[in-house]
Amino acid sequence: MGGLRRYRTVVSDSALWDRFRFRSGDIVISTPPKCGTTWLQMLCALLVFDTADLPRPLTEISPWLDATTYDTTAILAGLERQSHRRFVKTHTPLDGLPSEAGVTYVCVGRDPRDAVLSFEHAVANIHPDAVPAGGLGPQAAAPPPADPVERFRVWADADPTPESASFGVSLANLVHHVRTFWDRRGEPQIALFHYADLKADLPGQLRRLARVLSIDRSSERLEQLAAAATFDRMRNRADELAPGVDAKLWRSNTDFFRSGRSGRWRELLDPAALDHYHRRVAELAPPDLVQWLHPDEAR
């Protein structure tokens, strides 16, 4: 993979990108887990197909290319057959992805505290038969602490792990992933969105995405398409839109779309835990990125 950084977890391996034949116009959706991946896939689908009636389940149209839990050969063959503009999912940061001319790389960031609580809910919703050996949690080698505040501290303090037995979920990994886009956000092929902005103005963010992808849609049409990507609309179509439905990943597909609510961490974290968190995140990111990650918090 040349000078690219390799990211390898119990469920993915960025080296699989070596096998993908890019086309001009391809879209790579690269996000940290639980930061709005499926949301961004749906927005891309709405723009590419210009309809909310998708031809196949979203996970088939936009597969997780470097997941090791799927048949990579079948995924690559399916993508090769696609004649529409392709948009592919990955949780590999930008510094682990091949840089190709004519390809757009898109990321969504989120308040890390919301992301980790959403991840914990997602892990609890995974069907036991779908869990790989070693588990998916931030500390796969050892049982996580029973106390949720202590689990939060473990997540916040964990070192970045580009190659590990875990899913790579830690504060350090999330910040690093977003930073690989943040540091290149001025480049025309690179686009960084925030989960909070999608919640606050979905039509406006869809309009921005259309500009990034050079897709021409009228303002009226963008309003109509955005209405199909609200949280409630997507939750009602969970059997079509949730990732992993083909592999029976979830106990409940509907519960994959739990609430979409931000700020639940306020109900869990006391001032000491928050101070600890802020000291840690300040070690991992420059002040402007810290501020961008936490748009609803005045400090």
Active site (catalytic) residues:
91
Residue 238 identity: A
Say how far apart CA 154 and CA 170 lie, in whole Å: 8
Structure tokens at 133: 């050996």
Close Cβ partners of 103 (under 8 Å, ≥ 6 residues apart): 22, 24, 25, 26, 27, 28, 189
Residue 36 identity: G
Structure tokens at 187: 């480049």
Asked if residue 29 lies in contact with residue 37, where contact means CB atoms within 8 angstroms, the answer is yes
Q: Are strands 27-30 and 190-194 parallel, antiparallel or unpaired?
A: unpaired
Residue 43 identity: L
List for the chain the helix, strand, coil content (%; round to 5).
Answer: 50, 10, 45
Structure tokens at 117: 């609580």
Residue 203 identity: P
Structure tokens at 113: 């505290």
Say how far apart CA 35 and CA 292 lie, in whole Å: 14
| Distance set, CA 279 to CA 124, 167, 263 (Å) | 29, 24, 19
φ, ψ of residue 28 to 5 degrees: the values are -105, 120
Say how far apart CA 64 and CA 131 lie, in whole Å: 17
Say how far apart CA 194 and CA 205 lie, in whole Å: 9
